[in-house]
């Protein structure tokens, strides 16, 4: 049935234990707009509303450039309120897309101030999502807890393999035939958050570690863009250490 012209569109996201009567309870909720359901949570999201996003980067530009470009042509529905970086290098890319750029240096002596500055931006700008687009700093446990379920990271390998730094060099040393990237939610456990999306690329023995990294950047942009789009379209349900994605 075609909806009436001008009708609002939304996504109803809910979770509960499997039991008889769920469909009845949900339909009654939608009709009456008020009810009490034991052990059920729900959220009605407006899919047309632009999500307020902060993108965090260090010196690698490919994921930032890809997200801003996709957003500029309407492929993503983001309101990018700021690009935040611990280096000044990528300010020119943010400027080219008309996005505010914030340089927040991170050193052992300034890490607490950097964390406070990030949380200030999230609060003041009413940010819905923080995207770590190759941000090469580890977020504190406090930040991970405060922003639980609102931070997506792109890891430049196929988790759970090759965690930590220089994964392409690790992969090269093992002679892998497939490389890829993993987009996941950030938790206090490094590289252990629920996986949202993964992308694979076939490689062979002729490629150097740097060439693997170059191929890997293609996988990183694709996996991260899909994860961001699915999150902002409310298509992801986190179920413990796993996700369910409705495509």
Chain segment 100-150, per-residue pLDDT in tens = 999 999 999 999 999 999 999 999 999 999 999 999 999 999 999 999 999
Which stretches within the chain are classed as H helix? 22-32, 62-72, 91-96, 111-124, 141-146, 167-174, 209-232
Matching residue, tokens 């729900």:
42
Tell me, what's the pLDDT at 19? 81
What are the structural domain ranges in the chain? 10-46, 51-245
CATH 3.40.50.170 fits 51-245, yes or no: yes
d(CA 94, CA 88): 11
Tell me, what's the pLDDT at 38? 37
Q: Is the pLDDT of residue 156 over 70?
A: yes
Tell me, what's the pLDDT at 42? 58
Tell me, what's the pLDDT at 21? 83
Number of Cβ within a 10 Å radius of residue 63: 26
Q: Which position has the higher pLDDT, 69 or 18?
A: 69
What tens digit of pLDDT does each residue of 33-74 get? 654 433 475 566 777 789 999 999 999 999 999 999 999 999
Reported confidence tier of residue 163, pLDDT bands at 50, 70, 90? confident
Q: What is the model's pTM? A: 0.81
Q: Is the pLDDT of residue 75 over 80?
A: yes
Tell me, what's the pLDDT at 179? 86
Which stretches within 73-208 are classed as H helix? 91-96, 111-124, 141-146, 167-174
Q: Which residues are catalytic?
A: 191
Q: Which of 76-80, 137-141, 164-168, 191-195 has the highest mean pLDDT?
A: 76-80
φ, ψ at 130 (rounded to 5°) = -110, 130
Mean pLDDT, to the nearest integer, of 81-99? Answer: 98
Tell me, what's the pLDDT at 34? 52
Q: Which position has the higher pLDDT, 135 or 18?
A: 135
Reported confidence tier of residue 9, pLDDT bands at 50, 70, 90? low
Mean pLDDT rounded to a whole number for the chain: 87
């Amino acid at each position: 049935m075609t909806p009436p012209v001008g009708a609002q569109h939304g996504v109803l996201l809910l979770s509960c234990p499997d039991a008889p009567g769920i469909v009845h309870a949900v339909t009654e909720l939608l009709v009456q707009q008020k009810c009490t359901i034991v052990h059920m949570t729900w959220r009605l999201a407006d899919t047309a509303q632009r999500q307020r996003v902060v993108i965090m980067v260090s010196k690698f530009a490919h994921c930032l450039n890809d997200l801003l470009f996709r957003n500029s042509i309407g492929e993503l529905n983001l309101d990018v309120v700021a690009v935040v970086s611990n280096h000044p290098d990528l300010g020119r890319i943010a400027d080219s897309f008309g996005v505010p750029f914030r340089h927040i240096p991170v050193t052992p002596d300034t890490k607490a101030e950097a964390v406070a500055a990030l949380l200030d931006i999230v609060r003041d700008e009413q940010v819905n999502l923080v995207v770590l687009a190759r941000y090469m700093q580890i977020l504190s446990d406090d930040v991970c807890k405060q922003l639980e379920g609102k931070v997506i990271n792109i890891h430049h390998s196929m988790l759970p393999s090759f965690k930590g730094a220089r994964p392409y060099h690790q992969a090269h040393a093992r002679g892998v035939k497939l490389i890829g990237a993993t987009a996941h939610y950030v938790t206090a456990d490094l590289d252990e958050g629920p996986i949202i999306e993964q992308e694979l690329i076939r490689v062979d023995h002729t490629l150097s570690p740097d060439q693997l990294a170059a191929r890997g950047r293609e996988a990183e942009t694709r996996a991260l863009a899909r994860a961001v789009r699915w999150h902002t379209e409310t298509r992801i349900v986190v179920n413990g250490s796993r996700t369910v994605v409705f495509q």
